[in-house]
Each structure stands twice: as structure tokens, then as C-alpha cells.
């Protein structure tokens, strides 16, 4: 048995029957010097010094052909299908053509039995720890697989990153983990070791690329729905936010901005959107950004489709553009640029970035294995099987690289439904797809988000309130059909949408959760999502929604400083409790609470207390059991000090989500509520440091040093705040009001001046 010491920062392992190492593939950004070539299927023990980490038990590769479908028999026989997930085309007269030779692969590992397994991206079942679980890694609506897992425990911590863009499966049982690969040239993986999960994530980012800064507005509140039908709808929505004094950072225009019959065209329907430049300018005049939905499949007959077809930039279905082709990406960007970007558009919503989704139909949900096989068959008709999971990644690459080439004055934002490792390099925000409105779904989303972030992806979000609110009745209203069976995924519990008091309660809880996520965005179908559709001022649900939107802006200086840490330090905002409390077994097992940065312990409420579906009143205790890890904590709502290392019954009326602040926390805030830093809050009881981050929030000048990272330290024993270091040249406030909360229940205030710092 071979024994190999894992070297810093990572070790590469290549399993190849030909004995070739090969260059890193699409996922891995940097090649590295530390390489191990394994040419036999014998076991390898990996160690960190004297400590055994895990064992590669064995691997095998079985030859297979790579095919792609091409049109045969003259012109394509195209069938257009109207689906819930957009318009799709099928070409009937295609045949398989061999384009290459590769392998099906399998590898097994023996893992420490007392470790937890995190990562693998975001899926649907709400799995928190993949010990004893199986998962199908295939891009699909509501599934974003990542070819990485973390093995975290009391003795060793490591991550394994597969340089693979194919469909994969994972299964773990009794300490043995097995991965299969649909199509690879070799099995190529990297081992990242570290003393903490933060070190593992830093290693993954070093391997796959630094997360770029998003613009500052992206961390505010984003309002969307399916859909605003006209330019007037967009502007009236913005005006209502302004009239009510509710802050909003971005309004999103969903699908169908094109002329009828021209699905996916990026030319605008001038009857409904007569002057998009004027519309966007009016939004900008009120500090509101604009995001537009774009699709990868322009309909046959529209100009976009013709341009791509003439350049050979379409797959054989005749509509989906080939994002793997650099020239096709360039043409696609020019189509985005000519009307939308030139009119001032700030962000792209790249929807349906897993463009072949055959399981997104039918009244009965198929098994996981059936869905996997269907998706594999559909995707690999058009995409090389070796990179069938990478479509969204190269699509994002095209948007990012071409926008940056066109203009350096605006940071790229791409809200995309799928992706893979390294997509953080391209200004991407991932979201969990078209989920349904159920309490169980809300609960599962917490665990899924934690695993996505533990996979190294920093910016992830959800449709606050879920995409599908109701079921049969909502489906019939949306589709205009009373005879078609309701699709399996259109399965929310609230047919009356926001008129149902049960949905109002669920929506409020979802929005509270969304307040403490990397990105806060409300969206969905069946019922409007703007705050005024949930009541009026003075009513509980409306007031709570507004309270938490405003809280988001109060915390924006803290959140933007976390974003600075993401880019500069490889940090993770949304953190399962293993990140910060690895020595606390109770904390490490919790899947429904998490840390939001170093300060906040967030405990979403995931069950009804006042209403069930149908506005049926219930009277459940307004309490939520919360485990506070060891140390000291403050109730964020009341500022009451509470000792940790125990479970408490937290007050949790609908107007409040239980959130606790760790002692020693330094939290920059916007007391005025405009998102601009004007104060520091310090929660005494321990010493700590925090890095405040400043830049212009708009462009990429931070890459050239036009930023300021100011690290401040709170010394609890002396009760003094110090500036430890200042990095960068961007101007920042020279003094701030400081509010100090004390463990005895008192508070004090003072002015803090940024002078006399020690570098």
C-alpha cells in the first residue's frame, strides 16, 4: 500500500490507465506543481504528517464512446414545445455521430467514520450531512451539483475537488464513499487539507478562482415576480416603494420582454417596453438597479437565432446556443449589449442555464435515478458528455468576459440557476430554482444553502416565498387550461396566494431567513410578492416585512464588509456551525441554524404558529428551541446577554426571527438606514477583530488598490477599540459613533476616531 503526505496547498491525483497526467480541465483554474500519478487500482493512504486522513481504495475506467447528435436527411424537422420552463425545441431527424473516446469512471474512498461530509452543491432533499446518503450530481432545475466534498471531523479536515464536468453520482455507506463519472478522460482530483473549514474553502478558491466583488446594490433588497408585463408596471412598482418609504436596490424583469412568437429574443417588444433607456434611467435616478431575464434559446425565425445559426453557434436542436464556443458567446453578448446593456441594464438573470431538462414535466415525479438517466440522455445529445454539467459555467464566463471587455465601469452580476466550481470568478449568484411553498421546503432550503456555501460558492439565494405558491388551481390559472394535469413540481400549499393568512405567515418567515442570506431576493409566480400585497401599514405581516427589509439596509455595511472578506480572504458568509464551533458536537449536528458572518447566529422558524393553509387559525407556542454554542451571546432583538453551551426556548412571534450576536462582535451599521456606514456596534464580553471594507461599490478599480480594508480590534479587558491596520487607498470615514452593549444590560456610546493605527 502506498502512503502519500498531502502537501500544501493541495495535492493532485491522476488516475489514468495510459499513465498520462494531462492538463487541468475547465473547472480547475490553476495548474500546480504537486502531482501524483496513480496508474494502478491499488490503494493509497493519504496522510498529513503522522496523521492518516483517508484512503483511496481503488478506481477503474471503462472505455466508452462520446457521441453528439447531428441533423440528418436535409433540413431539421423542428417541433416547438411549450413548457412551464420556457419554450423548447426538439429536432426529430437527428442521429448519433461519434466525436471522441473517453471512459466511464469509478473511484472509492475509505473515510474517517467520525467525520461529517458536506458539499456536493445544492439539491432538493435538504440533506445536511451526506454520511449514509446518496446523491445524483446533474444540473437541473432545483439541483446545482458541485464536484467537491468536505470531510470534517475532530482529527482531520480535508476536501476533495474533482476536475470533472460530467454527470456524477455519490454514495456513502459505513465509511466508504463511491463516486461514478459518466465520461472522463481520466479521474483527476485535488486534495485540500486544513485545520478548519475556512482553510478548506480558501484552498478550493485558490484552486478554482477568487470570487470577484459584486456591486454594493446587489447586497440590498431585490424585488422580482413572474412577471411585470410592461414598462409601466416596472416604473409603477418602483414608485410604490418610494412612496411607502420602503428601500429597494433592484427591480427584476422576468421573461417575455420580446415580441410574441420570438421566444428568447433580446430585441424588445416596443409596444410594451417603448423606451427601456428612459425606464432604466428613471430607476437609476432613484438608486434602483435593473436586472433583465435572458434565455439561452432564441426561437427559430428571430434575428438572434439567425445570427447564431449563420455562425454555427447553435446545438442541433436549432435554438440553444453553444456556450462552449467562444465565438457563439461573443455573438450572444453582442445581442445582450445592443439594446439592454446600452440602455443601462445593471444585471443579467441567466435563466434556464441547464437547457435540457426532460424531467420538468408530467404529473408524477420520477425517481432520482430515472431523472438522472433522462437528463443524461437529453444533455449529451448536444453537449460532450465530458462537460455536460458545465453549460452554465461557460455561459457565465461569456457574460463576464464580454461585459468586462465592453466596459469596466460596471461590475458584472449574473443571477443563474445552475453553475459549477469556479463560477464565482464570473460575478455569479446562484439560486435554488423553482421551489414550492411548503414549510418542509423552507426547512430543507437551509441545509441545501449551507452545503452550497460549504462547496466554495459564496453567493447563493432562494425565491423568498418559493416560486410555486399553489397547486391545481394556480396551475390552471397560469396555463389557461382546465384539462391538463398539474405538473408534479407545481405543488405549493396555498391556492389563494397572499390572500391566505397561512401563506402570509410562511412568506414572512421566508423573508426573515432571506434577510440573513448573502443575497436577499423575493420572487415567484401565482401571486404578487411586493410588500403591500401582504397587508397595509399597522398590520402585523406588512409591518414585519418592512421591518426586515429595512434591517437589511441597517446591516448593509456589515454585509458589504463580509463581501470584501469573500474576495480578499476566501471567506464564507453563510456558515454551518462546524465552521465556527468544531469542538461542540451539539452545534456541529444542527442543520437549521447557521452563522451569518462572524457575528450572527441565525435560527429561522420553519413551522407555522398562527395559521395553516386556507387561513385556518392555530395557536402554537410562539417559541423556537435554540441551541446556543458555548460562549456568550446577545439576543439581537432585545440586547439581553445570555450564556451559551445550552438550549433555550426563544421568543419567536411572527414579528421576530431568533438571532443572536456573539460576544466580541464588531458590527458596522447604517443607523440612518440608507446602507451607508455611520456607526459601529460592539457586543462586549470577549475580544475580537473585524475588517471594515470600503470601495466605490460600482466598478473594478478595487483590483488596482482603490479600496480600504480597515481592521479594528476590540480589547474587552480595557474596553478600548483600536485600528490594527489599514490596507488600500480608498477614502473612508475618519470617525464613527460607537455603541457598546455590555453583558450587564447597559450600553454606552462614544466617538471613535481612526487615528494612531498600528500597521
Query: To 5 degrees, how large is the angle CA 557–CA 628–CA 202?
Result: 50
Contacts of 679 (CB under 8 A, 6+ apart): 668, 669, 670, 671, 736, 737, 738, 739
Q: Exposed, middle or buried, 101 (CB in 10 Å: 0-12/13-18/19+)?
A: exposed
CA-nearest of 150, 207, 211 to 565 is 211
Q: Exposed, middle or buried, 730 (CB in 10 Å: 0-12/13-18/19+)?
A: middle
Instruction: Please give the grid coordinates belonging to residue 291.
Output: 436586472
The predicted model gives 248-260 an average pLDDT of: 97
**Are 721 and 713 in contact, with CB atoms under 8 Å apart?**
yes
Reply yes or no on whether the pLDDT at 693 is more than 80: yes
pLDDT single digits (tens) 379-407 = 999 999 999 999 999 999 999 999 999 99
How far, in Å, CA of 741 to CA of 682, rounded? 6
| Per-residue model confidence (pLDDT) at position 584 | 96
Place of cell 416547438: 80
SS3 164: coil
| Per-residue model confidence (pLDDT) at position 392 | 97
Counting residues of the chain whose pLDDT is more than 70, the rounded percentage is: 97
Place of cell 426571527: 657
Q: What is the DSSP letter of 344?
A: T
| Per-residue model confidence (pLDDT) at position 168 | 98
Length of the chain: 759
| Per-residue model confidence (pLDDT) at position 1 | 74
Contacts of 462 (CB under 8 A, 6+ apart): 431, 432, 435, 445, 449, 510, 513, 514, 517, 521
SS3 114: coil
How far, in Å, CA of 551 to CA of 514, rounded? 11
pLDDT-based confidence at 274, cuts 50/70/90?
very high
Q: What is the DSSP letter of 140?
A: B
- What H or E segment, with its residue span, contains residue 513? helix 501-515
pLDDT single digits (tens) 629-648 = 999 999 999 999 999 999 99
How far, in Å, CA of 585 to CA of 581, rounded? 8
Are β-strands 600-602 and 594-596 bridged in parallel, bridged antiparallel, or unpaired?
antiparallel
| Per-residue model confidence (pLDDT) at position 74 | 67
Reply yes or no on whether the pLDDT at 673 is more than 50: yes
**Are 191 and 221 in contact, with CB atoms under 8 Å apart?**
no
Q: Which domains does the chain have, with CATH numbers?
A: 2-208 (2.60.40), 216-357+388-569 (3.20.20.80), 585-662 (2.60.40.1180), 666-753 (2.60.40.1180)
Neighbours of 488 (CB within 10 A): 15
69 or 143, which is more confident? 143
Predicted TM-score (pTM) of this structure: 0.96
**Active-site annotation, residues:** 351, 354, 434
pLDDT-based confidence at 759, cuts 50/70/90?
very low
How far, in Å, CA of 185 to CA of 105, rounded? 9
| Per-residue model confidence (pLDDT) at position 86 | 76
Average pLDDT, the chain: 94
pLDDT single digits (tens) 319-359 = 999 999 999 999 999 999 999 999 999 999 999 999 998 88
Give the 3-state DSSP-derived string for 604-619, with helices as H, strands as E and coil as C. CCCCCCCEECCCEECC
| Per-residue model confidence (pLDDT) at position 32 | 63
The predicted model gives 526-532 an average pLDDT of: 98
| Per-residue model confidence (pLDDT) at position 23 | 73
pLDDT single digits (tens) 173-201 = 999 999 999 999 999 999 999 999 999 99
| Per-residue model confidence (pLDDT) at position 73 | 67
Amino acid at each position: 500500500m502506498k502512503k502519500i503526505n498531502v502537501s500544501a496547498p493541495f495535492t493532485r491525483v491522476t488516475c489514468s490507465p495510459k499513465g498520462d497526467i494531462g492538463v487541468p480541465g475547465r473547472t480547475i483554474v490553476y495548474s500546480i506543481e504537486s502531482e501524483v500519478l496513480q496508474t494502478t487500482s491499488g490503494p493509497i493512504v493519504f496522510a498529513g504528517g503522522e496523521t492518516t486522513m483517508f484512503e483511496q481504495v481503488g478506481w477503474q475506467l471503462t472505455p466508452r464512446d462520446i457521441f453528439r447528435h447531428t441533423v440528418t436527411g436535409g433540413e431539421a424537422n423542428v417541433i416547438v414545445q411549450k413548457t412551464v420552463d420556457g419554450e423548447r425545441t426538439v429536432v426529430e431527424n437527428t442521429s448519433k455521430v461519434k466525436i471522441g473516446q473517453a471512459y466511464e469512471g469509478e473511484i472509492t474512498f475509505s473515510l474517517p467514520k467520525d467525520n461529517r461530509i458536506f458539499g456536493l452543491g445544492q439539491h432538493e432533499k435538504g440533506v445536511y450531512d451526506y454520511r449514509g446518503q446518496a446523491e445524483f450530481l446533474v444540473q437541473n432545475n432545483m439541483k446545482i451539483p458541485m464536484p467537491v466534498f468536505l470531510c470534517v471531523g475532530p482529527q482531520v479536515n480535508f476536501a476533495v475537488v474533482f476536475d470533472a464536468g460530467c454527470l456524477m453520482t455519490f454514495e456513502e455507506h459505513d465509511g466508504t464513499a463511491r463516486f461514478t463519472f459518466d465520461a472522463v478522460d481520466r479521474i483527476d482530483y485535488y486534495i485540500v487539507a486544513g485545520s478548519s473549514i475556512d482553510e478548506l474553502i480558501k484552498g478550493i478558491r485558490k484552486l478554482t478562482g477568487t470570487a470577484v466583488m459584486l456591486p454594493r446594490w446587489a447586497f440590498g433588497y431585490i424585488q422580482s415576480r413572474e412577471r411585470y408585463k410592461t414598462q409601466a408596471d416596472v416604473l409603477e412598482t418602483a414608485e410604490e416603494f418610494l412612496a411607502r418609504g420602503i428601500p429597494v436596490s433592484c427591480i427584476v424583469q422576468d421573461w417575455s420582454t420580446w415580441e410574441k412568437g420570438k421566444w428568447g429574443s433580446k430585441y424588445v417588444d416596443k409596444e410594451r417596453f417603448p423606451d427601456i433607456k428612459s425606464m432604466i434611467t428613471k430607476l437609476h435616478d432613484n438608486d434602483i438597479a435593473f436586472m433583465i431575464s435572458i434565455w439561452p434559446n432564441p426561437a427559430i425565425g428571430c434575428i438572434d437565432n439567425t445570427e447564431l445559426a449563420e455562425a454555427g453557434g447553435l446545438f442541433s436542436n436549432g435554438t440553444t446556443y453553444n456556450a462552449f464556443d467562444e465565438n457563439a458567446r461573443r455573438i450572444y453578448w453582442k445581442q445582450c449589449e445592443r439594446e439592454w446593456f446600452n440602455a443601462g441594464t445593471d444585471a443579467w438573470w441567466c435563466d434556464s442555464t441547464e437547457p435540457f431538462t426532460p424531467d420538468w414535466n408530467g404529473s408524477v415525479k420520477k425517481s432520482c435515478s430515472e431523472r438522472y438517466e433522462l437528463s443524461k440522455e437529453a444533455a449529451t445529445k448536444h453537449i460532450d458528455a465530458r462537460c455536460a454539467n458545465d453549460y452554465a459555467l461557460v455561459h457565465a464566463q461569456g457574460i463576464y468576459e464580454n461585459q468586462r471587455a465592453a466596459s469596466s465601469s460596471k461590475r458584472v452580476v449574473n443571477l443563474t440557476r445552475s453553475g459549477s466550481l469556479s463560477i464565482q470568478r464570473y460575478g455569479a449568484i446562484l439560486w435554488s430554482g423553482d421551489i414550492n411553498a411548503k414549510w418542509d421546503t423552507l426547512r430543507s432550503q437551509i441545509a441545501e444553502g449551507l452545503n452550497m456555501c460549504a462547496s466554495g460558492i459564496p453567493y447563493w439565494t432562494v425565491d423568498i416565498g418559493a416560486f410555486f405558491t399553489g397547486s391545481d388551481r394556480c396551475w390552471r390559472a397560469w396555463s389557461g387550461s382546465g384539462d391538463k394535469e398539474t405538473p408534479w413540481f407545481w405543488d405549493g400549499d396555498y391556492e389563494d396566494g397572499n390572500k391566505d393568512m397561512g401563506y402570509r405567515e410562511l412568506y414572512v418567515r421566508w423573508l426573515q431567513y432571506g434577510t440573513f442570506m448573502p443575497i436577499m431576493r423575493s420572487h415567484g409566480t401565482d401571486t404578487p410578492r411586493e410588500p403591500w400585497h401582504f397587508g397595509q401599514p399597522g398590520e402585523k405581516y406588512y409591518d414585519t416585512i418592512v421591518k426586515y427589509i429595512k434591517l437589511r439596509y441597517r446591516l448593509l455595511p456589515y454585509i458589504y464588509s463580509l463581501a470584501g472578506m469573500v474576495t480578499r480572504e476566501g471567506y464564507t458568509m453563510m456558515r454551518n456551525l462546524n465552521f465556527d464551533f468544531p469542538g461542540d458536537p451539539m452545534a456541529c449536528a444542527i442543520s437549521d441554524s447557521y452563522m451569518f458572518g462572524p457575528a450572527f447566529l441565525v435560527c429561522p422558524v420553519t413551522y407555522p404558529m398562527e395559521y395553516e393553509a386556507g387561513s385556518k387559525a392555530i395557536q402554537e407556542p410562539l417559541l423556537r428551541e435554540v441551541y446556543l454554542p458555548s460562549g456568550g451571546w446577545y439576543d439581537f432583538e432585545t440586547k439581553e446577554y445570555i450564556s451559551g453551551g445550552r438550549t433555550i426556548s426563544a421568543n419567536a412571534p411572527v414579528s421576530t426571527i431568533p438571532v443572536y450576536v456573539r460576544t466580541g462582535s464588531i458590527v458596522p451599521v447604517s443607523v440612518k438606514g440608507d446602507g451607508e456606514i455611520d456607526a459601529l456596534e460592539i457586543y462586549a464580553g470577549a475580544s475580537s477583530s473585524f475588517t471594515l471594507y470600503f470601495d466605490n461599490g460600482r466598478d473594478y478599480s478595487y483590483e488596482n488598490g482603490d479600496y480600504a480594508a480597515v481592521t479594528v480590534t476590540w480589547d474587552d479587558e480595557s474596553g478600548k477599540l483600536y485600528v490594527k491596520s489599514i490596507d488600500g487607498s480608498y477614502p473612508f470615514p475618519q470617525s464613527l459613533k460607537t455603541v457598546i452593549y455590555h453583558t450587564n444590560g447597559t450600553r454606552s456610546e462614544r466617538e471613535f476616531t481612526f487615528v494612531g493605527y498600528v500597521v
